[in-house]
């Protein structure tokens, strides 16, 4: 198999494993089962995954579980015991120990704001929250969207994200997948207030209206439908965090809404290629129950 085809083949398999992990955090994630799922030889599986993730697969699983638990502690009404179970810890004491080792504070203390320095560090100072621009919102119920996507790991405003968009758009152009209703969707899986910049996970997605098969690093999946709070962000993409800060620190507590366990995503309504940063318009979708 040519080198390029081999690389594409491995990327397809890696995508399958990472998607499975993300959607099965509450289950036992057996490394042998993941290797089997990838169809990569167990002898090479962990070396390949480490090379892609820049960390061992087990470290990746632990990190994603704990960082997901932070989001649930801040933005859900679930008990600490329930959060422990939802993030794959059968024994709450094990969750408490792992959380404290990672963040230097217990889950209960974090939720109760007993250590303000940790909370302020997590939110990158509450000054940003108080000064964040208010956004108009509306509640929408939407249908699921089929998308092709390419994943990147690294800073959201970095070269990896830019390259993912170039590649997925190039693929769509080659396959004739663009149409008048094509939507450009970004899925940011991690909170940059929690996750190190070089480990942020992002999917550059394009909606498609016909069957497409995964090919190399290009995956195919659905962006979930359901009930969402939708916000209009006007301005540069570098200001996204200010909008998210407003949504989660001001709008959510005052709205009476509760987050649903699904990905937030963005729909880009115009392009930075021909639009000044201050004129960019982006819809932010927040899943709510």
Residue 2: is its pLDDT beyond 60?
A: no
Helices (H), the chain: 3-23, 31-38, 42-53, 57-75, 80-86, 92-103, 107-111, 116-123, 126-131, 159-175, 240-246, 252-255
Question: 52-61 pLDDT, tens per residue?
Answer: 888 889 999 9
251 Cα distance to chain centroid: 20
Cβ atoms of 66 and 98 within 8 Å: the answer is yes
pLDDT at 160: 93
At 7, the pLDDT band (50, 70, 90 cuts) reads low
What pLDDT was estimated at residue 129?
45
**What is the location of CATH 1.10.10.60 in the chain?**
3-123
Distance CA 169, CA 171 (A): 5
Mean pLDDT over all residues of the chain?
A: 87
Cβ-based neighbour number of residue 193 at 10 Å: 17
pLDDT digits (tens, 9 = 90+) for 180-227: 999 999 999 887 877 889 999 999 999 999 999 999 999 999 999 999
Residue range(s) in the chain whose domain bears CATH number 3.20.80.10: 137-287
d(CA 142, CA 261): 16
pLDDT at site 19: 92
Bridge partners of residue 145, in order along the sequence: 223
Q: Which fold has domain 137-287?
A: Multidrug-efflux Transporter 1 Regulator Bmrr; Chain A (3.20.80)
Average pLDDT on 63-79 reads: 91
Rounded-to-integer distance, Cα 126 and Cα 124, Å:
7
The confidence score (pLDDT) of residue 118 equals: 54
Decide which of 1.10.10.60, 1.20.120.10, 3.40.50.2300, 3.40.50.980 is the CATH code for 3-123.
1.10.10.60
pLDDT tens for residues 177-190? 999 999 999 999 88
Residue 133 has pLDDT above 80, yes or no: no
Tell me the CA distances in angstroms from 31 to 18, 58, 261, 276, one per residue in order: 12, 8, 25, 47
Q: Between β-strands 184-188 and 219-223, what pairing exists: parallel, antiparallel or unpaired?
A: unpaired
């Amino acid at each position: 198999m040519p080198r390029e085809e081999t690389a594409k083949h491995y990327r397809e398999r890696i995508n399958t494993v990472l998607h499975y992990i993300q959607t099965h955090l509450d289950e036992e994630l057996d490394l042998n089962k993941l290797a089997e799922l990838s169809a990569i030889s167990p002898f090479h599986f962990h070396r390949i995954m480490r090379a892609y993730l820049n960390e061992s697969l087990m470290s990746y699983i632990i990190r994603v579980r704990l960082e997901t638990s932070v989001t649930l502690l801040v933005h859900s009404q679930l008990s600490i015991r329930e959060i422990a179970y939802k993030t794959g810890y059968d024994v709450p004491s094990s969750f408490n120990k792992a959380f404290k080792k990672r963040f230097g504070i217990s889950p209960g203390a974090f939720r109760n704001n007993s250590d303000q320095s940790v909370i302020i560090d997590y939110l990158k100072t509450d000054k940003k929250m108080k000064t964040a621009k208010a956004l108009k919102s509306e509640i929408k119920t939407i249908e699921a969207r089929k998308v092709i996507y390419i994943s990147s790991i690294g800073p959201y405003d970095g070269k990896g994200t830019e390259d993912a968009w170039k590649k997925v758009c190039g693929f769509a152009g080659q396959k004739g997948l663009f149409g008048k209703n094509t939507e450009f969707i970004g899925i940011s899986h991690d909170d940059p207030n929690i996750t190190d910049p070089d480990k942020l996970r992002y999917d550059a997605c394009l909606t498609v209206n016909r069957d497409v098969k995964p090919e190399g690093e290009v995956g195919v999946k659905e962006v979930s439908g359901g009930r969402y709070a939708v916000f209009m962000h006007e301005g540069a993409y570098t200001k996204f965090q200010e909008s998210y800060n407003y949504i989660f620190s001001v709008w959510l507590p005052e709205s009476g809404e509760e987050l649903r366990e699904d990905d937030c995503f963005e729909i880009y309504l115009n392009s930075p290629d021909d639009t000044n940063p201050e004129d960019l318009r982006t819809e932010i979708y927040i899943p709510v129950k």
